[in-house]
Structure 1
């Protein structure tokens, strides 16, 4: 090859080097913050988180490749929520996944800029997270856990499975629970239609739970509704044990209570919400704004029944109710 041809060839190859270098440049790693409202040891919460990570992987976001996740577990301690929320926000992630109303509230207090996608939030409008379902309008969007009418459905279902119930206490911790006012209109309407009474039973600590359950046990028609609450969820084993010990018919807001021995539950599919949240995170990482992603209310509700617990309470579960159940534990 002549010298001039070699130099020309070499110059042409060199011109392509920047293009090749750019083509081989590794993809930017995105940072996702995750703030869970449950204990790190909670097997259900870890399963939901795994579902979220799996959905992200299916959408092309894998840890160690183009994604890094900073995970924090907040439990039901509201002071801890604020500390961890600030810790995550200070990392300046590309987006944050938030679980439960108190956790989301703590994050919203810390940032109005970083995109937040929530799950397990009962009423995002009343909580001030979004201007409307169709147009959230800020940096927060996600997936609502319950509609306000769910309160009446809990009352109706408890009456159906335990017909002698005439008085119901609503167990919750004011510091961590979904605002009771969201559900009260439908609860009071159902109570009136079934000639029942419904009373709030706030507790500030786990040592107060037994007093509420015992009080309902002294009432021949006493029953209990365990309201949506990070505190009651964290103490579900204790609550289920106490309601069994005192033989108090109780309805819960999630199937994992029934798996632990609770009588009956009507609530959202948590796994589905985490799958959906991964979809919103993916869209945000690709350039969409939370303000343009509508808040979605849950469409899949699960009815779970524990027949062993029903038998221990001397309750006969109607066949019509069994036919509607999504999960039956025998």
Structure 2
């Protein structure tokens, strides 16, 4: 009877352990946290895992804890408090909001920032790979296609990367004689109302890198196209999803760069010497199908500058 009771108590103790708790001893424990569960972060993370395995960090040598919280401040900080409790060898933070939360919650642990829309000025202690692209190039390509002067920007004030991109758009648009009107979309429920008001004031819509607008991107494109307004963006696959033009990074490249830095840290590199790298692969995509539907003519010069043309 005593042994049976002891067995039951032991089994009950095991059941309360978190599901993500490392099940076996490994040389390195890595915690990964995404700003939100977006395809771009998933692609980058999968590339990171493949690249780590290619460098010899397989399942027997490395354990990864992955957290995909909601993109709000409380959820992100709570996710980092959980992973910090495991004392990982390093943290991979996908997206600007996750990187900012990591900097506050894990001051003594190395954090590799991935796919972050970084500020223009370098920030001490931040290293990894940025998703910041030359907004001026995308605006210029758009103006070559149509004489757009009133640009509406769909952003989320609760996401740092989205706000930074709005600031970047304002700065570059002013230099090209364009007026900017912002639409702050914090929830999917408020999207239709914000867009309806925005489309009365603009002739071009720029969708920033936000988890809310990413989930509803096709909806934004459909509503805008119904009013004869093209959409542009810097989100990966935006042109494939209906944007007239997009300037895109490669999530795979982001994951590969993150793996390179992670290996350097695990093998003893000094964190203070690691850089925040700009994206190497930045591609201009033009969707000719959308241009035709909106009765827009894409000049040969713009087509010659595009890396990918969707017919």
Please classify the TM superposition score into its range, dividing by the shorter chain length.
0.7 to 0.9
For residue 316 of structure 1, report the CA deviation from its aligned partner: 1.6
Of stretches 177-186 and 282-291 in structure 1, the one that deviates more from structure 2 is 177-186
RMSD over equivalenced CA pairs, Å = 2.4
Q: Give ranges in structure 2 of 5+ residues lacking alignment.
A: 1-24
For residue 239 of structure 1, report the CA deviation from its aligned partner: 2.2
Quick one: which of 136, 139, 155 aligns to 1:155?
139
| Counterpart in the other structure of 1:83 | 78
Per-residue CA deviations over 1:288-315 (Å, capped at 9, x if unaligned) read 1321111112232111122222222111
- Look up the SS of the partner of 1:303 in the other structure: strand
- Look up the SS of the partner of 1:218 in the other structure: coil
Could you tell me how far apart the structure 2 residues matched to 1:122 and 1:169 are? 20
The aligned runs of 1:1-330 (5 Å cut-off) are 28-39=26-37, 42-63=38-59, 65-123=60-118, 130-131=123-124, 136=125, 140-146=126-132, 150-161=134-145, 163-178=146-161, 180=163, 184=167, 187-193=170-176, 195-219=177-201, 222-330=203-311
| Number of residue pairs matched by the alignment | 287
Could you tell me how far apart the structure 2 residues matched to 1:75 and 1:304 are? 30
| Counterpart in the other structure of 2:14 | none
Tell me if structure 1 keeps the 8 A contact 2:67–2:79.
yes
Per-residue CA deviations over 1:238-258 (Å, capped at 9, x if unaligned) read 323322333311110123222
Could you tell me how far apart the structure 2 residues matched to 1:66 and 1:238 are? 43
For residue 191 of structure 1, report the CA deviation from its aligned partner: 3.3
Higher Cα Rg, which structure? 1
Could you tell me how far apart the structure 1 residues matched to 2:222 and 2:40 are? 18
For residue 232 of structure 1, report the CA deviation from its aligned partner: 2.4
- Look up the SS of the partner of 1:114 in the other structure: coil
When residues 319 and 309 of structure 1 are mapped into structure 2, their CA distance, relative to the original with a 3 A threshold, is: same
TM-score scaled by structure 2?
0.83
Could you tell me how far apart the structure 2 residues matched to 1:178 and 1:239 are? 19
Tell me if structure 2 keeps the 8 A contact 1:100–1:230.
no
Per-residue CA deviations over 1:45-73 (Å, capped at 9, x if unaligned) read 4332211111101111012x101110111
Per-residue CA deviations over 1:120-174 (Å, capped at 9, x if unaligned) read 1122576x8x32xxxx3xxx42112115xx333332222122x232201121111
Q: Give ranges in structure 1 of 5+ residues lacking alignment.
A: 1-26
